[in-house]
Structure 1
Amino acid sequence: MASRVMWNQWLWTTGYSLTSGGFLLYFAKELKANAFIIAVLLVIPETVGISGLGTRWILRRVGSRKRVYFAGSLLARLLMLGIPLMGFQSTRIAGVNPLWVIVACLALTHIVQSVAFMAYLSWLSDLAPEHHWGRFFALRNISKLVALLVVPVIGGFLRDAWRRWHEPHEALIAYEIAFLVGWTLMLVALWPIRNLPDPPFRMPEPQPSEWSVFRDSWRNRSLRFLLIHNWWLAFANGLTQSAFFGYLFGPLGIGLGLFYTLQCVMRVCKLPVSWITGNISDHFGNKLPLIIGVVIASSGLVFWLLATPGQWYWVFGAYACWGMYAAANIAGRNLTLTLAPRSDNATQLALFRQIGGLCAGLSGLLGGWWLTSLNETKTTWRWGELELNSFQIIIAVSLIARWASVVWLIPVTDPHGRKLRHIVKSFQRWKQR
């Protein structure tokens, strides 16, 4: 089963990377998108993902998480087709800006895909034994990282080569080709898992309403503090979206090739971190790797404060530290599954992941507005001999907020967690073998 899920993840991630991110933004730029449209395209996937909160309501009526996932995925692929059609004059809607059609199609796609993805995670959590969740989801994460290490880089350079070899008016064709390949791969991704079992969606009797599930989730002390931690961290992370990219491509002068190299450093670091975290989670619980992952990954922002146009190489340290976000992501999701009811866990997953995405999206808009204000007033902060520019001011505030998010984990009780002294003893026994 694990190999089928890995193939599904690899194919889907490969296809998604060719239809979103840099490819989508370059496509929008070719259609003369302004800064506001670009900002909207960046935050849509996170903000509309709140639709995942409605997954349980749908599951109660359909009764099958597998059917919801497959139907939602197919519908999302259909809605996506409106995006590449805007690249052709003959398929555009008269009197309507094609960029707003792209925005609408992207939003509808992610609204549907978010519901499908919550059903997918809940379905997988029932297929895999609970004591193997760590390694199971680590393998899925590794498959995703392998795809991201290769495909965006190759696709990006092929796109650049196309622009060099063809006339400017043919630039959109490169995106149309990439989109068609990516769209096909996302459809093919359903094939490896088509025959996986469809365990029944088990709910307590009498069936609780959606509102009572929200209420009970919030009353669960450990789950409540875990959710607050995740929302706080997501907001702190989103705050720096504009600052990171603005500082990289502005004062630091990082080119696209070097940017891809930095991304590869982070993803290479995530590969061993994912596997190690999965094993630790299965044997010692999820809270400890979650805390370690958040602290080390957040500390990567220190390197951004040290980076200057003359010493830009400090950012390599930041991207290496960000490899520890793999630990935070795997352990955080697994801890949510552990604290949620078995099978009937779509709402808890959506509260953790989708509300977190909404927080990141909204704070991304706030961070962009704040950065613009700081740049206009040429604001700087001085701390001893260290002088922070407008980009670094936002990064410093985000760093403190990310570290502070760990405080919310103190009251969280991990049902499968083991005391630190037991972990140390287990490590000592392992060394003596």
Structure 2
Amino acid sequence: MAPDSHHRPTGSIRKAMWLANANAAIWATGNGLVSTTLVIYLALELGATGIAVSLIRAAPQLVGLLRLASPALMTTGRSRKLVCLAGYASSALVLGVLVAVAQYHVMALVVCWCLYHLLEYVATVALWSWLGDWMPPVVRGRLIGWRERFLVAGRIVGICASVALATLWYRMDPDPQRWEPLAWSAGVGAAMMLLAVVPLLWLAPRTGKSPPSSCNPWDDICRALTDSAYRRLLLYSFWVAFANGVTGTAQSLYPRWVLGFDYTHMQTMQSMMYTGQTAIAPTCGWWIDRFGPRRLMVGAQLVVATGPLFFFLASENYPWWIAGAFLVWVAYAPLNVGLDTLKLRLIPTDGSAPSLAVYQSVSDLAHGATLIIGGYLFDRLTAGDSPPLGLYAGLFLLGWLLRSCAAPLAWRVPESRGDA
């Protein structure tokens, strides 16, 4: 049923979401300054190979499986706030350590990158469980849509700052060590992520809401895995993560080693993508509240699936075809808003934290394992030589096919527990 179009969040909810969105904007600015793209380019400048790049992309997600234990830390609303604040603050500090050790060994960078993500993942489970209390179902899509806008806008600011830093650095020093501006960008990003904790200090657990789990959280985890509605959402998330992982290593290496794009080129295209997402995210939230997420998500999935085809078309002579991928990936905005809405709508238990931990861990396992296996096979097939263009082409076509197959799975996900 469509929500009442005249319904508006109350003053206390608006204040809570203002604090949450301030946190999102500041954190995302830091995230833009120290993106996965930056860390990959930093590692490549320090001599990383295909398997090392796969580890950078995948190992944090495999380590993230440990977040399944995080609901045991959240037995009250107050403990959710404590876990959230401690997790985000400590993850920012670990990111600062990454900057200090990166130049000494690539594996030290990977270890810090993993620990940073683990702490951040645990904090995020707590945050979404906490924010779920403040998001009434009738306006949840709109609130998530606006939060998505703040997140994406913050990433744009961070990416632009990172690109500007690298560009000015190279102009001021015509023969620098190319990893240095990337390391400085990561350091500033870590400081911004630490600053993002401040708005959450003022955000209290919502009065009158029950604790996130009133029973053994491991029982809630089992219910999430066996619940019919939630299992369909998990299956869709698993398949999308698997399909994205198949082309992960190739999509990281192809722009750098075949097309000749440097860090600033890639981040400029990322900014273009995020600008488009910022523009449409709130509208996507309104649509989802009024008409439900399924039709919008199926259409968006078919659009984003075409991204690898633009990598397939790009070549040394026509490198800018790759920009088309970032253009169609603007359609990740309705997918992100829809998935964030569904993961709260379809929670099968009174305790949201265990179900949210399961949701994140299932997709991480699929994506991380696929990246590791794909990176290993990529190195084996190339045997230390330059990868043949046919290998890239085959992976990009396979990526398009697998991502397109996710659309029917999205259609099978119920829009609410009443539709299951």
Correspondence for 1:429: none
**Matches of 1:215 and 1:65 in 2, distance apart?**
21
Q: Do the aligned partners of residues 407 and 147 (structure 1) sit closer, same or farther apart at CA in structure 2, a change above 3 Å counting?
A: same
Q: Post-superposition shift, 1:350? A: 2.1
Between 364-373 and 162-171, report the one with greater CA deviation. 162-171
Q: Is the 8 A contact 2:51 2:375 kept in 1?
A: no
Alignment partner of 1:69 is 2:84: yes
2:199 aligned to which of 185, 189, 192: 192
**Matches of 2:120 and 2:212 in 1, distance apart?**
27
**Matches of 2:90 and 2:212 in 1, distance apart?**
30
Q: What are the equivalent positions in structure 2 for 1:48-197 lying under 5 Å apart?
A: 48-60=63-75, 64-86=79-101, 98-166=105-173, 174-175=181-182, 177-197=184-204
Q: Post-superposition shift, 1:213? A: 1.4
Counterpart AA for 2:415? D
**Matches of 1:398 and 1:63 in 2, distance apart?**
43
Correspondence for 2:31: 16
Deviations 1:163-214 (A, max 9, x none): 4434867766645543442222112212223222213762599x43233212
Q: Is the 8 A contact 1:340 1:348 kept in 2?
A: yes
Q: What are the equivalent positions in structure 2 for 1:327-342 lying under 5 Å apart?
A: 327-341=334-348
Counterpart AA for 1:344? G
Correspondence for 1:316: 323
**Matches of 1:305 and 1:26 in 2, distance apart?**
22
Q: Post-superposition shift, 1:372? A: 3.8
Q: Post-superposition shift, 1:121? A: 1.0
Q: Is the 8 A contact 1:297 1:325 kept in 2?
A: yes
Q: Do the aligned partners of residues 68 and 316 (structure 1) sit closer, same or farther apart at CA in structure 2, a change above 3 Å counting?
A: same
Q: Post-superposition shift, 1:255? A: 4.6
**Matches of 1:211 and 1:373 in 2, distance apart?**
40
Greater relative CO, 1 or 2 (CA 8 Å, sep 6+): 2
Deviations 1:247-284 (A, max 9, x none): 32344444544433322332222123312210111111
Correspondence for 1:385: none
Q: In structure 2, the residue corresponding to 1:389 is in which secondary structure?
A: helix
| TM-score of the superposed pair, with normalisation by structure 1 | 0.82
Correspondence for 1:209: 216
Correspondence for 2:10: none
**Matches of 1:258 and 1:106 in 2, distance apart?**
23
**Matches of 1:76 and 1:21 in 2, distance apart?**
15
Alignment partner of 1:414 is 2:377: no
Counterpart AA for 1:412? V
Correspondence for 1:424: none
Q: Post-superposition shift, 1:126? A: 0.8
Q: In structure 2, the residue corresponding to 1:158 is in which secondary structure?
A: helix
**Matches of 1:99 and 1:144 in 2, distance apart?**
29
Alignment partner of 1:287 is 2:258: no
Q: Is the 8 A contact 1:371 1:394 kept in 2?
A: no
Greater CA radius of gyration, 1 or 2? 1
Q: Post-superposition shift, 1:11? A: 0.8
Correspondence for 1:427: none
Any unmatched runs of 5+ in structure 1?
89-96, 381-387, 419-433
Q: Is the 8 A contact 1:162 1:171 kept in 2?
A: no
Q: In structure 2, the residue corresponding to 1:414 is in which secondary structure?
A: coil
Any unmatched runs of 5+ in structure 2?
1-14
Between 243-252 and 293-302, report the one with greater CA deviation. 243-252
Q: What are the equivalent positions in structure 2 for 1:294-305 lying under 5 Å apart?
A: 294-305=301-312
Q: Is the 8 A contact 1:83 1:101 kept in 2?
A: yes
Q: Is the 8 A contact 1:231 1:356 kept in 2?
A: yes
Alignment partner of 1:269 is 2:270: no
Q: Post-superposition shift, 1:19? A: 3.5
Between 247-256 and 122-131, report the one with greater CA deviation. 247-256
2:250 aligned to which of 240, 243, 247: 243
**Matches of 2:75 and 2:188 in 1, distance apart?**
35
Counterpart AA for 2:71? R
Counterpart AA for 1:202? S
Q: Post-superposition shift, 1:16? A: 2.6
- RMSD across aligned positions (CA): 3.1
Q: Do the aligned partners of residues 180 and 258 (structure 1) sit closer, same or farther apart at CA in structure 2, a change above 3 Å counting?
A: closer
**Matches of 1:307 and 1:167 in 2, distance apart?**
29
| TM-score of the superposed pair, with normalisation by structure 2 | 0.84
Q: In structure 1, the residue corresponding to 2:161 is in which secondary structure?
A: helix
Deviations 1:60-95 (A, max 9, x none): 27853112101222222333343233268xxxxxxx
Correspondence for 1:364: 371
Q: Post-superposition shift, 1:141? A: 1.3
Q: Do the aligned partners of residues 78 and 220 (structure 1) sit closer, same or farther apart at CA in structure 2, a change above 3 Å counting?
A: same
Q: Is the 8 A contact 1:64 1:198 kept in 2?
A: no
Q: Is the 8 A contact 1:134 1:278 kept in 2?
A: yes
Q: Do the aligned partners of residues 48 and 189 (structure 1) sit closer, same or farther apart at CA in structure 2, a change above 3 Å counting?
A: same
